[in-house]
Structure 1
């Protein structure tokens, strides 16, 4: 599995335009072969983090080179973000645990 960690700070004046672009990119990413998931978070200090998972580098490469995504990345550099950082990582280990439904508070 390949995990991309995208950290950014959004320019306040471009929030509306960014939201539209972000929704479109979310829709597109889900259609790329090898896509697993993505989730975004915003910290109290305004930093945004998006974690994207693909099955392989080939899937990630298809996403990175998708024409609409290429255009959105350019907009990100020019308009949306005051700064950003992209880290692409190979998963070395993946461990998970989930309590049975009857033990969880949300059950």
Structure 2
């Protein structure tokens, strides 16, 4: 069953990556997903990045309190500082409450997490 249902919150992070290969970004991004999965109130994540460097990551949370706790997690703070210092040329973070959800086909077969360049 998908816990990302109406009433939960979505943190929508859109970004433009800088052109700096092998700068530690992929390692940090993987670490952040693993760490977020272990946080109370985390429900899921979907992410994609195109070849032009534009990306979008949507993480889902049970409450605004869970989102705030994630924002202030020490390792997440370090990752955000890395983003500002050089991984991103621009980004926007939006927080929204999920009102409706629609699906096609078997929701159990829908991707939980998209990968880069999908």
Query: TM-score if structure 2 supplies the norm length?
Result: 0.76
The CA RMSD measured in Å over matched residues stands at 2.2
1:75 aligns with 2:82: yes
Instruction: List gaps (5 residues or longer) in structure 1.
Output: none
Displacement after TM superposition at 1:62 (Å): 1.1
1:53 equivalent in alignment to 2:47: no
Indicate which of 20, 34, 41 corresponds to 1:34.
Answer: 41
Question: Runs (4+) of structure 1 moved beyond 4 Å?
Answer: none
Q: Is the 8 A contact 2:18 2:53 kept in 1?
A: no
Deviates more, 1:81-90 or 1:39-48: 39-48
TM-score, length-normalised on structure 1? Answer: 0.84
- The structural deviation recorded for 1:44 is 5.1
Q: 1:93: Cα distance to partner?
A: 2.3
State the shift of 1:97 in Å: 5.0
**Structure ranking higher in helix proportion:** 1
Aligned to 1:98: 105
Rounded to whole Å, the distance in 2 between the matches of 1:32 and 1:76 is: 21
63-72 or 88-97, which moves further after superposition? 88-97
